[in-house]
Amino acid sequence: MRRLFALAAFSALLLSCKGGLDVPSVGPGDAYASVKWMELPETFETDGLDFFSRSCSIGGKALRNYSFYWDYTNRVSHWVAYPLCRDYLGSSGRSEAWGYDPFMPASKQSNVSGGFKEGDNGWYNRGQLLPSGDRTASETVNATAFYGTNIVPMDNDFSGGIWSTLESRVRAWAGSSDTLYVVSGCVTEGATHYVFDRSSNRVTVPVAFYKAVLRYCKDATVGHDGYMAAAFWYNHEGFPRVFSKNESLSVAALEEKLGYKLFVNLPAMVGEANAAAIKSEKPASVNWWWQ
């Protein structure tokens, strides 16, 4: 059963980074997302995946950190979704605190403390869906990006190449926005390769990765009602070596590839027609993304 959630009207807090709004005690391990944050994709009650969301404290302010949709069989998150603005960025650097996520038993996740062991297709890097660089406000917050639930097997050239370039672009876009809402995910359907974690658990190697970003800027001269969006999809094998706008696609096109909705609460904020326009716009034709 598809779950679409209406978004309550926001107040003047829309004018600032919205990462701190509505931080209820969620989960861990809810069947679907009952919160109405802008970054969240569609979730389902009967797909066997569980929704988790963690909060954090930065400068004495309670903020939501990130949410993820956990696949117990493949031992990866199908996606990690989070807000990004200046509140989350600082000078902590990488904690390298690879470890278990306290949200679930160790037996239900991957042991990534020493890197993945080779599986049927050689060695893979420990890739992050939420990059460490997006959570540098403190060492404590940065450490949460190194939990096993945020880690996926990635080709080393992919993670250190075009994926890393896209991560840097996302941070640059966030720096020119009030808030950037990010969904970073992987695709396991059709996967045949696997690795082993340090406890010899089998972990699926995804066949593709994607990112979708929804920008909000109250003073924007482009987009609709202050919002605009872009998406990227990369096959894990045969991925391009150079970042290019030609690899971008609309959020609507990415939704067709994935089979589920992204930014599911956007229509309640801007209306169905504007949400459709935002999601269908081709980012390659919008100069703002490529300045």
Ordered structural domains, the chain, with CATH: 2-290 (3.40.570.10)
What pLDDT is stored for residue 33 in this prediction? Answer: 66
Per-residue pLDDT tens listing for the chain (291 residues)? 333 332 322 322 333 365 333 344 345 566 656 778 999 999 998 999 999 999 999 999 999 999 999 999 999 999 999 999 999 999 999 999 999 999 999 999 999 999 999 999 999 999 999 999 999 999 999 999 999 999 999 999 999 999 999 999 999 999 999 999 999 999 999 999 999 999 999 999 999 999 999 999 999 999 999 999 999 999 999 999 999 999 999 999 999 999 999 999 999 999 999 999 999 999 999 999 999
User: pLDDT at position 34, please?
Assistant: 73
* 251 CB burial (10 A radius; 0-12, 13-18, 19+): buried
pTM: 0.91
Alpha-carbon Rg for the chain, nearest whole angstrom, is 18
Whole-number Å distance between alpha carbons of 255 and 185: 12
Q: Are 63 and 19 in contact (CB under 8 A)?
A: yes
Give residue 1's pLDDT. Answer: 33
